[in-house]
Amino acid sequence: MLNESPLSAQEMLASNRIPQSTLYRKLHDLQEIGLVGVQRTAITPEGKRVDLYRSLLERLAVEMYGRTLRIEVKYRDLATERLQTMWKDFRREGAR
């Protein structure tokens, strides 16, 4: 769910039938083990500040050859993605 694009907790709650407290607990657990991070913070039209969460896993491959298990993990760099987004926004504003 968080692999394609960042989502707020409210957006995740809208598409899943889980209690809000469970969602926040799971997000906290996933952040602690390095699987989810806050990509950015946004301001809603109502002026409320919300965190947008994103999966830190870009790619995960698990292969088994006989008795050998191979796990390949590629992590997403949220700082780089934030800078790329900021640069695109800056260029868009400059073009106006």
CATH architecture assigned to 7-94: Orthogonal Bundle (1.10)
pLDDT, tens only, 9-32: 999 999 888 999 999 999 999 999
Would the pTM of this model clear 0.95, i.e. be above it? no
pLDDT, tens only, 39-84: 888 888 899 999 999 999 989 999 999 999 999 999 988 888 778 8
Q: Which residues contact 7 (CB under 8 A, 6 or more apart)?
A: 1, 52, 53, 54
**In contact, 43 and 60? CB cutoff 8 Å:** no
Query: Which amino acid belongs to residue 4?
Result: E
Please state the domain extents for the chain.
7-94
